[in-house]
Structure formats: structure tokens, C-alpha cells
Copies of this chain bind each other. A is one copy, B any other.
Amino acid sequence: MYADLDLDRTARRGYPEAVYCAGKTPAQVAGIAATVRGRPDVITLFTRAEPEHAAAVLAELPDARHDADAGLLAWPPTPPTPAGGLVVVVAAGTSDLRYAREAKLTARYLGRPTELVVDVGVAGLHRILGHLELLRRARVVVVAAGMDGALPSVVAGLIAAPVVALPTSVGYGAAFGGLAPLLAMLNACAPGVAVVNIDNGYGAGHLAAQIAADPPAADRP
């Protein structure tokens, strides 16, 4: 057997496990999808799904939701009723959109209410400033940015909530596949910036969903 899916992870950690498709054969992904079918009580996400992975999943789970841009499938297709604080996802440019969508969908399927804001890079500050009210309503903001990775610093300086910084591999040569924004985000001059891996929209969305979860009743003021 090539996979030992951790279906009780929801019980243990409170969040479902995702199936990372990259590096798996479509047959392996199909086998996992078949296993999942017996557990409609648990939402399963398939991330980094190329078209052939998606086809393999849909053959087993025809009603799965498939977002091709984000390379994501979710089954069962209906996300949970929103609970917890608002997750706002911001894409610096259109080219960052696919990763921003992956983050937004992940947070939504993990149970949070979500909003998406696009094309608000720091080269035109009026754009991001125009969304200040929404940003200040969020319990966490995910900021996807390539190139100089400057937007998370700016957003973190404007709000009290934490920022999840998602570097993307968008940019010219010296972006070095996302290294430039990754380093910029790790060095954000405003505190409150949590960095995840390059192009890892799933990780950003998952982390945001955890941060925006309501505290357990016993732990509330």
C-alpha cells in the first residue's frame, strides 16, 4: 500500500488532512480518492492537482468541487457553515491570483468566512488604502505577493491582526523563483508577519483558518 491516510486527523487536530498531488501518479491519487469516498463526514482537499490528477479524483468523486486555476479539489463539495473570524485574502497582482484563490478556498473549506481583494500592489498605495475598512474587520489577513514582497509589511503596519505572508514565484530573473519575496517577508519591518512557503496557498489558508478559529469556550473572556 502506497499511502496510509490519516482520516482521524480531523478528530485529533480539528482539521482534515490534504492530499498533496504533486509527485504522485494519477493512479495513486485515484486510490486515495476511493478511500475517501467512504468518509463523507470529513472534508478532504486535493492540492497541487494537475489536470490528470483532477480527472483521477473526479472519476472517483464526480461531485467534487474543482477549482482548476487553484489546482484544488474538495469533497464533499459543500463547505461548512462559516464560523470564527473573517479571513481576508489579498493578491498583490493578478499573477498572484491562483495562489490567493488556493488560500481562500482552503480557509473556506476549513470553516472560515472569507473575502478576496485583488491587484493592490504597493506601487499604487491608494489601492490598498481603499480596502482599509475591510482589512481592519479581518481576524487575519493573507497577503500573496511576488516580486519585492513588500505588501505584507505595509498591510501589517495598518492593522492589529496578524498577517500571513504568502510569497509567490512571480517575477523577473532576480526573483529567483520566489526567493526575493520570501526573504523580504521574513525581514518584514513591521512585526506580526507569519511567513509560509513559496506558492503554498494551501498552507497559508490552513494557517489563517487556525488563527481565525474562535477560542474554545473554556478559553474565552
A residues neighboring B (CB under 8 Å): 1-6, 9, 13-15, 18, 20, 22-24, 28, 83-86, 92-97, 118-125, 127, 129, 139, 146-150, 153-154, 156-162, 164, 167, 169-200, 202-203, 206-207, 210-211, 213-215, 219-221
Contact = CB atoms under 8 A, between A and B. Distances in A.
Contact of A157 (B123, B147, B156, B177): B123
A35 to B, nearest CB: 12
Contacts of A200: 172-173
A18 to B, nearest CB: 7
Given A3-B118, A173-B169, A215-B214, A24 B94 contact: yes
Contacts of A156: 123
Given A148-B188, A175-B183, A220-B220, 13 more contacts: A4-B119, A15-B160, A23-B146, A24-B94, A28-B94, A123-B153, A125-B158, A149-B184, A150-B150, A172-B198, A174-B183, A184-B184, A193-B203
Contact of A180 (B147, B183, B196, B213): B183
Contact of A150 (B3, B23, B122, B202): B122
A85 B217 CA distance: 11
